[in-house]
């Protein structure tokens, strides 16, 4: 998966916006104002940070040693850094979905309803 495919996967989800809240090189995807993916565009090799269930994070880090690591500049328990161009595209897509779903699950009842109303 390349950066444009990653971007399209994120933007295809309901209620997602993209912005550069930190600097001109760090693309952030949010659902209802809550971050679920962070993509430092200038970092090589290409990578992104995604939220992940802590138990699953440990398993992924062991299985994909060096390609999935504790989240760079993020909570090491709840975020992973993925070297996404070196991972199976299906896995990256699944982990984007997982990150999005975790954030949606943590939204308030009001925000969940607003998200549902988006159609």
Convert the pLDDT of each residue in 48-63 to its tens digit. 999 999 999 999 999 9
Q: What is the per-residue pLDDT for 101?
A: 97
Is the pTM here over 0.85, yes or no? yes
Pick the CATH number of 3-114 from 3.40.50.720, 1.10.1740.10, 3.90.1150.30, 3.30.530.20: 3.90.1150.30
List the chain residues with pLDDT less than 70: none
Q: What is the per-residue pLDDT for 73?
A: 82
Q: What is the per-residue pLDDT for 42?
A: 92
Q: What is the per-residue pLDDT for 77?
A: 84
Q: H or E stretch including 4?
A: helix 3-11
Nearest one of 20, 13, 58, 56 to 39, comparing CA atoms? 20
Residue 73 to residue 94: CA distance in whole angstroms: 22
Give the residue extent of every domain in the chain. 3-114
Q: What is the per-residue pLDDT for 119?
A: 72
Backbone torsion region of residue 98, taken as left when φ is above 0, otherwise alpha when ψ lies between -120 and 50, otherwise beta: alpha
């Amino acid at each position: 998966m390349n950066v444009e495919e990653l971007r399209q996967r994120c933007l295809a989800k309901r209620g997602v916006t993209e912005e550069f809240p930190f600097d001109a090189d760090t693309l952030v995807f949010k659902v209802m104002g809550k971050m679920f993916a962070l993509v430092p565009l200038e970092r090589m090799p290409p990578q992104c940070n995604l939220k992940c269930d802590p138990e699953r994070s440990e398993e992924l880090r062991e299985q994909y040693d060096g390609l999935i690591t504790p989240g760079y500049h993020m909570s090491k328990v709840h975020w992973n850094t993925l070297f996404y161009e070196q991972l199976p595209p299906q896995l990256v897509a699944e982990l984007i979905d997982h990150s999005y779903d975790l954030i949606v699950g943590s939204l308030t009842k009001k925000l969940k309803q607003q998200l549902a109303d988006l159609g």
